[in-house]
């Protein structure tokens, strides 16, 4: 075997190795849970408490139960105190975790001091910003809402403050505003809220 043959074999091996590594990277992207599944203690390692807005129904409620099952204490923030107390009792009975409730109507401007006072001293690790609200009970075009961009940025920024402390933030988005790769296209089918949350947290 000559010197040229050795060079060609070496180059072929390097090229083959590069493609094998690219394939492994692709498999990791397509099946992330197979390669590095999250441990059940991962979420509680971020902090003791998870704050969930809109946590009395649907996806917010499912997040509350799943995060409590993973060892986190829960702060539920929603409008109706009666529903908050009912869900809090269910979570405490089901998981044995502590649950704190804050009744707040996010269509009002004067609620944030109360929320801040109730969260003082808590080691908040995760914020699930799941609250939904209408600016008016009368149907209207969103583009007609005064200063809609400013209102959105203001509310969204307040919700993201926890992220700056290197904590976890989960944000529900109705529409992804980008053109993703074909493997990342969103589906129009709907999962049950509890199945959606279990799949995203595991």
3 state SS of 113: helix
Judgement on whether residues 24 and 78 belong to the same structural domain of the protein = no
**Residue ranges making up the domain that contains 29:** 3-34
Work out the average pLDDT over 54-70: 89
Q: Give the mean pLDDT of 170-177.
A: 53
- Number of compact structural domains in the chain: 2
pLDDT score of 85: 94
Long-range contacts of 114-119 (CB under 8 A, 24+ apart): 115/77, 118/75, 119/51, 119/75
Same domain, 29 and 51: no
In the predicted model, what is the mean pLDDT of residues 132-142?
Answer: 60
Shared domain for 176 and 93, answered yes or no, is: yes
In terms of domains, do 176 and 82 share one? yes
Give residue 191's pLDDT band: very low, low, confident or very high (50, 70, 90). low
- Asked if 175 and 113 sit in the same domain, the reply is yes
Same-domain pairing of 165 and 88: yes
Same domain, 66 and 163: yes
Q: Are residues 23 and 48 in the same domain?
A: no
Is the pLDDT at 171 greater than 90? The verdict is no
Nearest to 70 by CA among 100, 101, 91, 54: 91
Question: What pTM was computed for the model?
Answer: 0.57
Q: In this structure, are 7 and 98 located in the same domain?
A: no
pLDDT for the residue numbered 160: 60
- Residues 26 and 49 reside in one and the same domain: no
Q: What is the pLDDT of residue 87?
A: 94
CB 167 within 8 A of CB 124: yes
């Amino acid at each position: 075997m000559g010197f040229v043959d050795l060079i060609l074999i070496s180059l072929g091996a390097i090229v083959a190795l590069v493609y094998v590594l690219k394939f492994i990277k692709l498999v990791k992207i397509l099946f992330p849970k197979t390669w590095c599944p999250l441990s059940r203690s991962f979420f509680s390692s971020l902090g003791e408490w998870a704050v969930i807005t809109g946590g009395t129904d649907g996806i917010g409620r499912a997040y509350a139960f799943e995060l409590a099952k993973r060892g986190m204490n829960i702060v539920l923030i929603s409008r109706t105190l009666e529903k908050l107390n009912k869900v809090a009792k269910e979570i405490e009975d089901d998981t044995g975790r502590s649950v704190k409730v804050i009744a707040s109507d996010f269509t009002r401007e004067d609620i944030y001091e109360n929320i801040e006072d109730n969260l003082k001293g808590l080691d908040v690790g995760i914020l699930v910003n799941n609250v939904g609200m209408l600016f008016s009970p009368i149907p209207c075009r969103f583009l007609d809402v005064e200063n809609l961009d400013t209102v959105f940025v203001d509310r969204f920024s307040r919700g993201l403050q926890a992220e700056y402390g290197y904590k976890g933030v989960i944000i529900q988005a109705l529409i992804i505003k980008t053109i993703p790769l074909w493997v990342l296209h969103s589906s129009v089918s709907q999962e049950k809220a509890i199945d959606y949350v279990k799949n995203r947290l595991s």
